[in-house]
Amino acid sequence: MRFRRKPVEVDAMQWDGTHAGARAIREAFGNDVKPVPFKTHCALACVTADGGFIQVEPGDWVVRNGDGSLSPMNAKAFAGAYEQVQPAFVPGMAA
């Protein structure tokens, strides 16, 4: 048997590794994204469905899944799984 991934639309933002980029993602996704304090660099973590954390690396996409949970996805995997649709995601607007 063969299977095809069901088409699903998600909200997502790519993190560029900067403090400004981290702030924009936190503003868009709220308390589900946490800053991780490091003295040498900026870092982010996504709150998982079970209340744990997964670190977001520069270049990763933060994806809000269909169930409302967030997960990071590396750029290559994101590009292979998703294509941009309209309307574009606007930070701070309800889905």
Is the preceding peptide bond at 91 cis, omega within 30 degrees of 0?
A: no
Nearest to 32 by CA among 18, 59, 11: 11
Rounded to two decimals, the pTM is: 0.71
What are the two backbone dihedrals, phi and then psi, of residue 24, each rounded to the nearest 5 degrees? -60, -40
pLDDT higher at 38 or 87: 87
Average pLDDT estimate for 37-64: 75
- 27 vs 45: CA distance, rounded Å: 14
Structure tokens at 28: 């868009």
Per-residue confidence at 14, pLDDT binned at 50, 70, 90?
very high
The 8 Å CB, 24+ separation contacts for 3-7 are 5/81
Per-residue confidence at 85, pLDDT binned at 50, 70, 90?
confident
